[in-house]
Structure 1
């Protein structure tokens, strides 16, 4: 029987907004699972760019953030089978959903209007022990390391879901532009697009490190948006523009660039999460005249995640991960805000 303490270490966001602080506490109470819940002893968690929304108060979040946690089940609620004890699981953005609405019944629990989210509605994974809903956790396959699995729970699943929107519109050999290609989501999107969907990827980002990661991930071409005329180069490469683009950065500039890099009747998939007051800066007339489609995409289905974990187990998808110790969390969040993270940062959770 695993000994479960009453208190634990956690990274706590205080005064969210321009003057936010992240402090490491060692006296945070360990939760008790409810009837449908489990208690997970975490080993690591990925850091997502949406943590920026939390610390800068772009929306309302819990004081303990994070939603890419991997760990072992150490306690089960009254309605949960004890067979889950000792199982390795992932704690992700979707904490639970109603399972009754039209979207849930079609398998789109992540689009449920009544969903509950980890780190937004319930405490997140930057702590030693996290409560999760047993009905919505993800089993981690044997042979896949915790540090590799963690970023797939959100970053990988988000790009898997975004590319799924294009399955009926794109074919192997078609061109796709992925902006933010050297970040945590972007480099996984490049891998899925190039290695799984067999698309020709034009990667957009800035800097030599992100160029290297984008090309290693399978991009055919890398364009630096700070030093190159991206739209002109894409037109030169493709003749008419790309068949689709996925906009990962939540910036006005990235969204403004999207219609400039695609051909008529193309699809723009919006993934990034800017401040809530930012509108899509694309002309409605332009969309109508050129037959453009704009789609929003947030994470993906559990079935897509299972496919992704299998692809990672098979070595097809290989997240670029750098693992950091828990005290590095404040510095890493600052780097996320400044867009200085290459690939995905994963935090090692203290064992004791």
Structure 2
């Protein structure tokens, strides 16, 4: 998915701000992994949304840069810790910090990024343009986002050992693990702009819907996308035994021997390609794939419809176009 010129422009501002962090050289064990992480080719989606969230509410985008960088640092902090929990050897196509150094270093460097994220927000407590209430609101949104991510990750860990997980429980997990930082990014931008409570709530809702849609779409891409474009083997979630929107819907709909066989395949370790094909065939026979596409479309469209409550602006056009490009991610 190619970025627009506006997104590229905003991303450059974010990268410039990140380069101004002036990380110390020592202790190198702490700061080298931070530098390494920030140098990886991330898409900067969350900080971009912070800037757009500010712009759509009539604020000066430049003033939202500290908030944008704080949300990006928070995001990368969570990724470092996620990689340890998942035993992930790769991150954005390169060795994860956990693999390149070790788990202790990844934990420590992640903690350093969390502290740096807070430092970015201090500017709103110092400038006269922001009241104590403004500063408190920005901090509350940041902390609530961090808390929800942790809750989502906890549910994800719990679900690994629970056989019976409902779609409703899965969506609750997504709201934390995937959607919380997207919601927080938009809401923080709005708070920096001095937006109304209603505008902040709207952007929070929009972020939640986009986050849910994005994760459901990732579940779909796992079985439908071209492995070369998606960067993962087809059916990787099935091989890893991950609970996805598709697998949970299929388990909910299947009965008798089909249910027992599906459950056995989803719980098996190192499925063969034939077994992956069998699982996908079950998804197709139960109309799970088409209904999952409909669910994804519903959440995306909810987000786009709620954007209509904002006045016309280049930022409204930008974020609408961004969401439409997300919907069109190739299968």
Name the TM-score, length of structure 1 as normaliser. 0.23
Structure ranking higher in helix proportion:
2
Q: Which has the higher strand share?
A: 1
TM-score (norm: length of structure 2): 0.24
